[in-house]
Structure 1
């Protein structure tokens, strides 16, 4: 920069140019100032960033553990409620069978009053009831899914997808129970089970 200033002053004197030579005049020359960029010191940057980053990651891990623990407790409580509801349904099944048997006997009485009863038709009604109202398989599978859900929750590895799949299977069983059971009490219990599952 000094060399530029001397050269400009010499030119001004030699050619008798008016004006003053100041800093703004010197800065008009592009190469008057050169900035040498040194390569970044990644080790120094890492030494600066590493402690707060480690602290933030540790805080995130602690938060996720607390959240996971809370979710585990909540899910366990909901599974217990679903299990209690499935037990209520299992206890209700014999009453449901008795109610259907009464309706079937009433229907038979009506058919007898109308005339002859077709034995094939009567057998079909009984078979239809047996197939339609038997929810023991669904209750067994639901119980099995609940047990498997509890087991998977104890695993150390990530299990979200497995639990999501089991929740879908439980939902399917609960829906089937609701569809097969022609009983308002069971229908109400099914609604509560779905609410807990969601």
Structure 2
């Protein structure tokens, strides 16, 4: 945002990158360092997540930011000394203004001290306008991000459905293999076949992922519902993504076939993309 306020040309620029928490940095002219805390407070009232950097440039257009002060006693001393030289040696050259202007330290340039509140009242509306434009841009980006996230959630659910279709087949295959192996090992132990079947079934059920996929579907639905809320949702989405990742890791640890393992890898890749994208959501 750029404005001219009370004889000052003020430029405020805002940059932001994704971050889980709110981090703020300001670059202001050295003499206006006191503006940093005020800008941080103003920004924190409108932005809750992300690394935010605000750059402020201030130029005085009235030409009144510095004052030239004549060192009168020093100039008088120079002139008295020069007149003494004239009288003593009979010199006739005139002492002109151009000569006086070249006296060392004859003039001092003082920076005019500006009232901090006056400066802030000039900078504040420019910063507010920049933040408003920044917020509008984020709303527009947020709509695009929302559509992209919904697309990824849909992809994730399609993978979960494939895992659900495959899971009972994997469990049955594992049960059969385990049953055959147990029969072979216990062949001469005179153990009832029904007991062998029961033990095989119990062990096989340990690789079933029904509970995990049900919870994942629930998390996906919650994710969609949260995206519709008109309030800060970043931390809620963060928590859900962590839960999705936990359930997916559990499925991966139970996976006993290559196809399921590949699907888990694809699912984890999508979850990671979603996790990265939600880092800058309020």
Instruction: Give the alignment's TM-score, normalised by structure 1.
Output: 0.75
Is this contact kept in 2: 1:174–1:193, CA < 8 A?
A: yes
Task: Name the CA distance, whole Å, in 1 between partners of 2:244 and 2:211.
Answer: 13
Residue-by-residue CA offset, 1:143-168 (whole Å, 9 max, x unaligned) = 11111222222222222222122111
Is this contact kept in 2: 1:138–1:176, CA < 8 A?
A: yes
Is this contact kept in 2: 1:92–1:186, CA < 8 A?
A: yes
Is this contact kept in 2: 1:90–1:139, CA < 8 A?
A: yes
Task: Name the CA distance, whole Å, in 2 between partners of 1:72 and 1:169.
Answer: 20
Partner of 1:185: 259
Partner of 2:249: 175
Q: Do the aligned partners of residues 29 and 163 (structure 1) sit closer, same or farther apart at CA in structure 2, a change above 3 Å counting?
A: same
Structure 1 position 78, deviation (Å): 0.8
Structure 1 position 102, deviation (Å): 2.2
Residue-by-residue CA offset, 1:74-98 (whole Å, 9 max, x unaligned) = 1111111111111111122221222
Gaps of 5+ in 2: 1-71, 273-282
Q: How many correspondences in the alignment?
A: 194
Structure 1 position 38, deviation (Å): 5.9
Task: Name the CA distance, whole Å, in 1 between partners of 2:110 and 2:267.
Answer: 71
Residue-by-residue CA offset, 1:96-150 (whole Å, 9 max, x unaligned) = 22212321332244236x42354577654432222x2221211121111111222
Task: Name the CA distance, whole Å, in 1 between partners of 2:182 and 2:238.
Answer: 46
- Larger mean Cα displacement after TM superposition, 119-128 or 40-49: 40-49
Matches within 5 A, 1:116-135: 116-118=189-191, 123-130=198-205, 132-135=206-209
Q: Name whichever structure is richer in strand by fraction.
A: 2
Partner of 1:88: 162
Is this contact kept in 2: 1:86–1:139, CA < 8 A?
A: yes
1:133 aligned counterpart, secondary structure = coil
Task: Name the CA distance, whole Å, in 2 between partners of 1:29 and 1:127.
Answer: 99
Partner of 2:177: 103
Is this contact kept in 1: 2:160–2:213, CA < 8 A?
A: yes
- Larger mean Cα displacement after TM superposition, 179-188 or 116-125: 116-125
Q: Does residue 138 of the first structure (1) align with residue 138 of the second (2)?
A: no
Gaps of 5+ in 1: none
Q: Name whichever structure is richer in helix by fraction.
A: 1
Task: Name the CA distance, whole Å, in 2 between partners of 1:70 and 1:27.
Answer: 66
Task: Name the CA distance, whole Å, in 2 between partners of 1:70 and 1:45.
Answer: 38
Which of 160, 166, 172 pairs up with 2:240?
Answer: 166
Partner of 2:91: 18
From the CA coordinates, give the structure whose radius of gyration is larger. Answer: 1
Is this contact kept in 2: 1:111–1:117, CA < 8 A?
A: no
Instruction: Give the alignment's TM-score, normalised by structure 2.
Output: 0.56
Supply the RMSD in Å over aligned alpha carbons: 3.4
Matches within 5 A, 1:21-36: 21-22=95-96, 23-28=98-103, 30=105, 33=107
